[in-house]
Structure formats: structure tokens, C-alpha cells
Structure 1
Amino acid sequence: MLEGNRVSRISVRGFAVASATAVTTVGAVVGVASGNPQPSNQNLETTAADATLLTNIPMGQQAPVQVSSLAQQADAQAAAADTSARKAAEEDARVKAAQSAKDKRAAADAEAKKAAEAKERAEKEKREREERKKAEERASRDAARSGTASFAQQSSYTVAQVQSIARQIIPSGQFQCFSNIVQRESTWNYKAQNPSSGAYGLVQALPGTKMASAGADWRTNPATQIKWGLNYMNERYGSPCGAWSFWQANRWY
């Protein structure tokens, strides 16, 4: 009986070592598949040595211990996979957030550029309008200072003829404003006279003798009256259009 027991323990030890070696080999294969290095011979020996302790475990409990070791290895690998996946997701989220911020900055820069360009265009158009206005006013003043010798004196003039003379003297951008005033003051009658005030001519100068500064023929020459009227509007209101704006507000100028 003593010898029989001895043989049994040796057999059990051999089985434990073989089982432990098999388990270790399975772990090594799994490790290689997952990219982990294979265990060294020293680790195999240590595992085998540790497995001899199974000889002290009853035969019925050795299989659950081996299964538990495999399950622990699977859990460790699953945890590592989860950690890797989480890190990948975090990196992806970081990249997307950085790209989104970059896109927003680019959009904001584009809007700012468009706003700056629109402002620059508006300022340029304003400057151009002001320059045109100044040019028209200079032309108006130059026309007022120019003589009327180019217009041959006639014994009488039709409304169409008077208007034609005015178009030649008044700058094109100011003619309509000048015409609006003359139409309301004299209906283009160069001999019109206000019986109560004595205002005279196309622009109803008060008194009419003021127009003598533009020419001695102020009573009968519409060109002289137009020249004087243009000069008056320029000096008092800046231009015929300035005079027209005042007229609209006050019904006189």
C-alpha cells in the first residue's frame, strides 16, 4: 500500500506539470496572436514549477484552476483591447474637434474678409460720389464765370431755345435741379416779372438789377440771366441741387 500511494503521487505530479505546460503553451500562443512576446524558458520553468503545487490540490479541483487561469488571461486581453479602443476613440474625437475649430476659424476669417471688402467698396463709392460732386460744382462755377459771347443775341427766344442755352451752361448733373427752380419761379420766361416784389427773369432775381454783374443785357438775354442764376446758386447753396433742396424745404431760395 505504501508503494502504491507513492506511484499515485508521482503520476499526479506528472499530470500537473503536463497540464501547466499545456496551459502555458496556450497562453503563449494567445500572446503571439495578440502581438505579445512569447514567454521565456525561465517563465515556462517557473510556471511548471508553480504547477507542481497542483499535486497538493485534490484531483477534482485541478481542472477549475486551469480554466480560471485561462479566463483571467482572456479578461486581461479584453481589458487591453477596451483600453486601446477607448484611446483610439479619444484621439479621433480630438482630431475632429481640432478640425472643427479650424473650420470655424476659417469661416470667421472669410466673413471678416468679406465685411472688410464690402466696407472698402462702400468707402470707395462714397469717395467717388464726393469727387463727382466736387467736379460738378467746379464745372458749375467755371461755367458761371465763363462769358456768354458764344450765344448770339436774338430779339426773342422760345422756351425750347432758352432751355437749350441753359443745357449748354449748366453742368449736366445739376441741370435738372436748376430746371426745377426755374420752372417754379418763371416757367422759363426770361421776361417774367413779379408785379408785387419786382423780381425779374428766369431765376426771379430780386431786384433784377443784380443780374447786371453778369452782363448789361440782363433784361433781354436769357444766357446772361442763366449765368447770373448759376453763380448765385453756387455761392449761396454750393450748387443748383443745393439750392433746389433749400427751395423744397422753404418754397423760396
Structure 2
Amino acid sequence: MSRISVRGFAVASATAVTAVGSVVGVASGSTGQSHDAEATAAGTTLLADLPVGQQAQVQTASLTQQASVQAIAADAGAKKDAEEAARKAAAETAVAKKERAEKAQKAAEEAKKRAEEEAAASRAAQREAASASAPAVGAVQGSYSIGQIQSLARGMVPSGQWQCFSNIVNHESSWNYRAVNPSSGAYGLFQALPGSKMSSVGSDWQTNPVTQIKWGLNYMNGRYGSPCGAWSFWQANHWY
């Protein structure tokens, strides 16, 4: 091995030379004075003068050091790759979860919209059917069914008061606008006594349920404040 090649070898493996016993010190008789890598490399020009066994030790130490460095670098690279893969997997999982949540929310919104549309269509159909079967308010015909009378009343009574209003009519006449009490002579949907008092609303009070509904609603509002006020009184006294 030439001195030039030994010098180049020593520069590449200065750390290894130092690690195995400071060959520079062995060759020059130094007792361990520290130098930087370049100084150490410069001092190894006498490496060729070392015994063959020591040269082999230096070479073995250098190769071992290089392998160790490479192994550390490989471990660091593998760890970095694993961390990057984990980050990517986590990001992909989060994106997938978000997409599923968005799809579920969209499906729920569409279902709600369809339900609202169907409900609106059903209400419209019911209104059309009621309108077709019920006579116009104010129109007089020969006879009225209970369903027709109730449809007329629904168009005149506030929705929040409807149930109370309906309860009273159910108890008084069962929605028979021609009902007559054989004992007192009370007449109509609300069993007005006398029935002729409903003429304050219209002279057709005997034959027109609209006239009776107007009178009954005015009576409940005027005396009890509302149909529900009248119903509360009725429940306590069984008359109103």
C-alpha cells in the first residue's frame, strides 16, 4: 500500500482511526493529544509503516464505522417513511370520514325535503277535496252533511280554537243544524234558546248552517272570550 493511498484512506476514515486507539499516536509516539479530523488525516501518512495486523485493525474499524453510520441512516429513513405513511393514512381516513358524514347529511336533508313536499301535497289534496265537497260560505243549499258543515266551520273558526268549538257543537247538537230540543225548543248547532235570537246574524238561521256558525262564534267570543273559554265553562257546568 503506497503512502498516497494510505493518506486518502485515512482522510476518509479519520474517525475510525481515532476510535481504535489513535493510530496517529501509536505511529508518532504521541500520548493522546487531540486534533481535528483533517489534522488526524494528515498525521496518518506513516500508516503504511505500521505492522500489517494494525493496518487490518484500522481498515476493519473504518468499515465497521461506515456500516454503523449506514445502518443508523437506514433506520432514520425507515422511521421517517413510516411516520409519513402513518400521516397519509390518518389524512385519508379523516377525508373518508368527512365524505361519509357529508353524504349522510345530504341524504337526510333530501329525505326531509321529500317528506315536506309529500306532506304539502297531501294537505293541498285535502284542501281541494274539502273545497270540492263543501259549499261556499254564504251559499245556501237544500241540505248539508256533517262533513260539509264542519268544513264551513273550519274556514271561520281560528285553528287554535277549533277543537274547543267542535267539542261544544258535538255535545249540543252532534252537528245537526236542524236539531230541536223537544222540551225547551232550543234550536240548531248551538241549541240557541230561543232559536230566533240567531236572526241577529241572518234571517235564514233555520236553514243555513253558516248563519248559525257565525252566531255561535260571536256568542262564545262575546260571553266567554273565545270558544276555549266557553268550553271550559261547559265542562264545569254542562251548559254555556
In structure 1, how many angstroms separate the alpha carbons of the residues matched to 2:181 and 2:208? 12
Any idea what SS the aligned residue of 2:89 has? helix
Aligned residues: 188
Equivalent in the alignment of 1:67: 60
Quickly say closer, same or farther: Cα 1:130–1:231, change in 2 above 3 A: farther
Of Structure 1 and Structure 2, which has the larger fraction of its residues in helix? 1
Query: Would you say 1:146 and 2:139 are equivalent positions?
Result: yes
* 2:151 aligned partner, one-letter code: P
The answer to whether the 8 Å contact 1:201/1:208 transfers is yes
Match of 1:181 in 2: 168
The answer on 1:205 being equivalent to 2:198 is no
Report the TM-score when normalising by structure 2.
0.52
Question: Structure 1 vs Structure 2: percent identity of aligned residues?
Answer: 37
Determine if contact 1:180/1:244 at 8 Å carries over to the other structure: no
Q: Which residue of 1 aligns with 2:213?
A: 230
Unmatched 5+ stretches in structure 2: 13-42, 155-161, 221-225
1:73-96 Cα distance to aligned partner (Å, 9 max, x none): 211221221122122112202211
CA–CA distance in structure 2, aligned partners of residues 138 and 236 of structure 1: 27
Q: Is the 8 A contact 2:190 2:212 kept in 1?
A: yes
Distance in 2, matches of 1:246 and 1:121, equals 39
Other-structure match for 2:77: 84
Flag the structure with more relative contact order, 1 or 2, with Cα contacts below 8 A and sequence separation at least 6. Answer: 1
Q: Relative to 1, partners in 2 of residues 1:190 and 1:248: Cα closer, same or farther, differing over 3 Å?
A: same
Compute the RMSD of aligned alpha carbons: 5.0
Return the alpha-carbon distance in structure 2 between the equivalents of residues 121 and 210 of structure 1. 51
* Corresponding position: 1:171 with 2:137: no
TM-score computed with the length of structure 1 as normaliser: 0.50
What pairs up with 1:83-162 in 2 under 5 angstroms? Answer: 83-114=76-107, 116-117=109-110, 120=113, 143-148=136-141, 150-151=142-143
On the 8 A contact 2:172/2:189 being kept in 1, the answer is yes
Q: Deviations over 1:35-61 (max 9, x none)?
A: xxxxxxxxxxxxxxx997432223332
Q: What is the distance in 1 between the residues matched to 2:134 and 2:80?
A: 80
Q: Secondary structure at the match of 1:102?
A: helix
